[in-house]
Amino acid sequence: MTSVIEVRELHDWPTTESEAVSIQERLRSLVRTDEQPAEVRTAAGLDVDYRESSDELVAAVTVLDVATLSLVDSAAVRGRAEFPYVPGLFAFREAPALLKALQELRVVPDVLVCDGHGLAHPRRCGLACHLGVLTDLPSIGVGKTAMGHYEPPAEPRGSWSPVTMDGEEVGRALRTQTGVKPVFVSIGHRYTLDDACDLVLDLAPKYRLPETTRSADHLSRRS
């Protein structure tokens, strides 16, 4: 079956930290932050589950209808992390398997919602940026923990505060549920921060995490 998602071969997969850093610095120049899809009907959640005490993993992608949050398509791929765990270079462990899972989809999602960060990254090129640039699909990052400095947002749902690194706003701490810990939203590629936060709120009507992340997490754990 021919994949409906094309992955651009913009780099070889690195074997050293210095090679990985160089790739991130090069990809950063390709990230676009002033676009918004004309219509967002479907959103893909991406998540990776590591098998206990090993580098074996399952990369899962679930595509949801944004209006109903019903499942449209899904794919899961077993693999092995070939790159060591290094802070700031997480994409090189997870992106290869996630890209394979994306290529098994039968539909092209309007946006990728990554379980991780985008511009909220020391080199402004986290997992959401990396996957967005390689697929040229709109993408955002929704992290569970902060990368950068922030002040807690107000308690009501929808409240947010800026996340900064080196004096630059790189994302937002967004309260998706009143009185619940915020999530950390950042641009990946071909999106704006305002629209990314609006989308995350649409995808998280009941729980802290967006349904895209929750559904991909469930699939990766049971695959």
Q: Where are the beta strands (DSSP E) in 66-166?
A: 71-80, 111-114, 139-143, 160-165
The sign one gets for the Cα dihedral 6, 9, 11, 16 is positive
The answer to whether 197 and 186 are in contact (CB under 8 A) is: no
Residue type, 75: A
Cα separation of 120 and 123, whole Å? 8
Cα separation of 142 and 171, whole Å? 10
Q: Is 47 annotated as a binding residue?
A: yes
Q: Is 115 annotated as a binding residue?
A: yes
Using DSSP's 3-state secondary structure scheme, residue 212 falls into helix
Cα separation of 177 and 182, whole Å? 8
Cα separation of 140 and 157, whole Å? 20
Binding-site residues sit at 47, 115
Binding-site residues for Mg(2+) sit at 47, 115
